[in-house]
Amino acid sequence: MKKIPSRSARTRLIIALDCPNYDAARSLITRLGKSVEIYKIGLELLMSGDFFKVVELLHKMEKEVFADIKFFDVPATVARAVRNLSQWGITFATVHGNQAMMEAANQEKGNMRLLAVTALTSLDQGDLEDLGFACTIREIVISRARRAIEAGLDGVVASGHEIEELRKTLGTKFLIVTPGIRPISNTIEDDQKRVISARAALLAGADYLVVGRPIRDALDPLQAAHILQNEISEFFARA
Contacts of 180 (CB under 8 A, 6+ apart): 121, 159, 160, 192, 194, 195, 196, 210
Q: Give ∠ CA 153-197-27 in degrees, rounded to 5.
A: 80
Instruction: Identify whether 40 is a catalytic site residue.
Output: no
Burial of 191 (0-12, 13-18, 19+ CB in 10 A): exposed
Separation between Cα atoms, residue 54 and residue 56, nearest integer Å: 5
Separation between Cα atoms, residue 34 and residue 83, nearest integer Å: 30
Displacement of CA 67 from its chain's centroid (Å): 9
Catalytic residue among 2, 53, 70, 193: 70
Q: Would you name the residues annotated as active-site residues?
A: 70
